[in-house]
Structure 1
Amino acid sequence: MTDATTDNKRGRNGPFSSLFGENFSIGHALLEGRAFFALIAIIIVFSFLSPNYATVSNFLIMANHVAIFGLLAIGMLLVILNGGIDLSVGSVLGLSGVFAGFLLQGVELEWAGVILYPPVWAVVVLTISLGAFVGLVNGVLIAFFKVPAFVATLGSLYVARGVALLMTNGLTFNNLSGDPALGNTGFDWLGFNRIAGIPIGVIILAIVAVATGLLLMRTAFGRWLYAAGGNENAAELSGVPVKRVKIIVYMLSGSCAAIAGLVLSSQLTSAGPTAGFTYELTAIAAVVVGGASLMGGRGNVRGTMLGAFVIGFLSDGLVIIGVSSYWQTVFTGAVIVLAVMLNSIQYSGGGKR
């Protein structure tokens, strides 16, 4: 009797058990692949609404825009897998762009009476280091001082944005393409050059995404991250260096935000203190749309990239057909709520991704 009841619950018994099983599998597949199907639907709908949408050149342009959100989303994914949140990534993006612009404009050493113009590679290294430092501060506050991630990164959001405003007095660093006579040219290469027709920003996103995917799936750190995000106490009892993992995760998130800031300021050849405003919400949306659980321990890079393309292609499609930017904000918010609802359905009952 007990076995029969169990079989009925699992859909193994009864005249319609086979049909029920098939329907469940189809529904599960649709739920798992919702980001992919949403992206296909977006492309089809906007292709009908605008003849300029479904062209190779437009797809490359949109993908270059997605690169910014995608880089932020990869860092956000790592944090969310750890069961945390990073609200500072948009401000770190803005600060990184301003810091790069500050260095490219020349650093005056009053005591020596000279102005230094660091080469572009040095600017890139120093800027990424700055992003990692902000992440380090966040990680230490959260891991050792037990400051809630929401509070710690919210504070970093304001500090980073304030520092960017102080560095620029609220203005914008323009003409970051450099001067050949000063040896600081080449920064705009990130934003405008292409390799085999593919924008550099998209290539950078692909490299970071592949590296992160390998980190998660092929290394001990990836296993530690999933374990700590799923159950931090159990992971710590199992020997996982939970605090170290948390700090590294926030450092990687800050580094990704800094790379995004470099790519964005290179595309614009300018850097302003308000760049990246509310981008942290877009990054969270991309991760959630991609199927990651906000509770931690579930998610992957593939889904996050699909989520970033869903958000980016939807936003650009709305621009192309002339929809107001206010409505774009409404649609983004609706997508986030819908994605969280679907995630709740997917993970209810202990489902795994």
Structure 2
Amino acid sequence: MSSTDVSKMNPTAAKQKINLADLLIEGRAFGALLVIIVFFSLMSPNYLTVSNLLIMSSHVAIYGILAIGMLLVILTGGIDLSVGSLLGLAGIIAGFLMQGVSFNSLGVIVYPPVWAVTVMTLAFGAFLGSITGVLVAYLRVPSFVATLGIMYVARGIALLITNGLTYNNLGGNEAYGNTGFDWLGFNRLFGIPVSVIILALLAAIFGIVLARSAFGRWIYATGGNQRAAELSGVPVPFVHICVYALSGMLASVAGLVLSSQLTSAGPTAGFTYEMIAIAAVVIGGASLSGGRGTVRGTMLGAFVIGFLSDGLVIIGVSAYWQTVFTGAVIVLAVLLNSLQYGGKRF
């Protein structure tokens, strides 16, 4: 009896084989993270300190939140090049609202509270993401082209709103009742930065969704074989719209966190962050052809990218070399994943 026949007769064995492959991929990412920590700890005594680890983790939170949204899209076999621009636009929208919305006809200026600013910003990010989903699901526009267009639209809107300038001092004003925006970037709960807690909560939520819910199974099925998923009753257009809307919303969350950390928002924020998000997903073991990947692996990939970047800064490596090293890590991760998945093209 062939091994194929055995796998068919024993689904448990096949499932264990898949889980073992996932563990090997994530093991590589975890091993790379350990190597990075050990290397930079030897190079700098300040690297492996509690304060520095927390600072680096707050930086990783931006990448990790973006990467979760990117993972959802990649699992369906798509790609989202707009997340960096949506991140920048989210900060601009928040800054615009924090500065007050003027109604000239009424002669009044409204200063929305921070919670309202947050809700409107997230809603706008989800709206732009859903537009991408409609283009992909119903108009059959390739995700690369659709998200490339939204990337330019978002960046253009940010430039139009600000006229190329930056919103500064987003701390708010007590007299206007809109203080507290910097809470995301600077506050800590139990000594842990709020941004890291947000990342952990989002990772836990989407990890459970992908592993335990019907929607998660729909996402994997869509990326594994879209035609078969449709024949099985999976609402593929609905899945596409949802994952792009979620990606846009998560990009807005990352934009709010970044603007809160900087207490400012500029139209060029998030430039090339989409590449970092893709890198985190790939390093974490996801296949760019869809259907394979986990939140756990993506988080490892985000920490690899973040700890590597911050480590290079700490030891004084040129920013140009940082780009080279990051690119080399991405290429190596794609190569290893290609070998892991039997040499299939991504």
Deviations 1:202-222 (A, max 9, x none): 001011111101111111000
| Residue 266, structure 1, aligned to residue 275, structure 2 | no
Shift of 1:332: 1.0
Q: Alignment partner for residue 170 of structure 1, among 164, 173, 176?
A: 164
| Residue 190, structure 1, aligned to residue 184, structure 2 | yes
Q: Which residue of 2 aligns with 1:328?
A: 322
CA distance in 1 between counterparts of 2:340 and 2:293 reads 12
Q: Which residue of 2 aligns with 1:18?
A: none
| Residue 111, structure 1, aligned to residue 113, structure 2 | no
| 1:85-234 map, 5 Å | 85-234=79-228
Q: Which residue of 2 aligns with 1:246?
A: 240
Deviations 1:140-173 (A, max 9, x none): 0000000000000000011100100000000000
Alignment-mate amino acid for residue 190 of structure 2: A
Q: Which residue of 2 aligns with 1:51?
A: 45
Alignment-mate amino acid for residue 205 of structure 2: A
Q: Alignment partner for residue 297 of structure 1, among 279, 282, 291?
A: 291
Deviations 1:7-57 (A, max 9, x none): 8xx9xxxxxxxxxxxxxxx99965441100000010000000000000010
Tell me, which stretches of 5 or more residues in structure 1 are unaligned? 11-25
Closer, same or farther in 2 for the Cα pair 1:28/1:63, shift >3 Å? closer
CA distance in 2 between counterparts of 1:69 and 1:334 reads 18
- After TM superposition, the score normalised by the length of structure 1 is 0.91
- After TM superposition, the score normalised by the length of structure 2 is 0.93
Closer, same or farther in 2 for the Cα pair 1:28/1:286, shift >3 Å? closer
Closer, same or farther in 2 for the Cα pair 1:28/1:165, shift >3 Å? closer
Alignment-mate amino acid for residue 263 of structure 1: V
CA distance in 2 between counterparts of 1:341 and 1:91 reads 28
Alignment-mate amino acid for residue 247 of structure 2: S
CA distance in 1 between counterparts of 2:21 and 2:123 reads 45
Shift of 1:63: 0.1
Closer, same or farther in 2 for the Cα pair 1:248/1:31, shift >3 Å? closer
Q: Which residue of 1 aligns with 2:230?
A: 236
Closer, same or farther in 2 for the Cα pair 1:27/1:93, shift >3 Å? closer
CA distance in 2 between counterparts of 1:179 and 1:313 reads 35
Closer, same or farther in 2 for the Cα pair 1:221/1:182, shift >3 Å? same
Deviations 1:76-125 (A, max 9, x none): 00000010000000000000000000000000000110000000000000
CA distance in 1 between counterparts of 2:49 and 2:168 reads 32
Contact 2:26 2:284 in 1 (8 A): no
CA distance in 2 between counterparts of 1:179 and 1:73 reads 33
Closer, same or farther in 2 for the Cα pair 1:66/1:32, shift >3 Å? closer
Q: Alignment partner for residue 81 of structure 1, among 54, 58, 75?
A: 75
Contact 2:207 2:294 in 1 (8 A): yes
Alignment-mate amino acid for residue 174 of structure 1: N
CA distance in 2 between counterparts of 1:74 and 1:265 reads 19
Percent of residue pairs bearing the same amino acid type = 72
Indicate the larger mover: 273-282 or 324-333. Answer: 324-333
Q: Alignment partner for residue 334 of structure 2, among 337, 340, 350?
A: 340
Indicate the larger mover: 341-350 or 200-209. Answer: 341-350
Poorly superposed stretches of 4+, deviation over 3 Å: 26-32
CA distance in 2 between counterparts of 1:184 and 1:67 reads 25
CA distance in 2 between counterparts of 1:264 and 1:88 reads 17
Alignment-mate amino acid for residue 322 of structure 2: Q
Bigger Rg, structure 1 or 2: 1
CA distance in 1 between counterparts of 2:72 and 2:343 reads 24
Q: Alignment partner for residue 38 of structure 1, among 32, 37, 56?
A: 32
| 1:62-77 map, 5 Å | 62-77=56-71
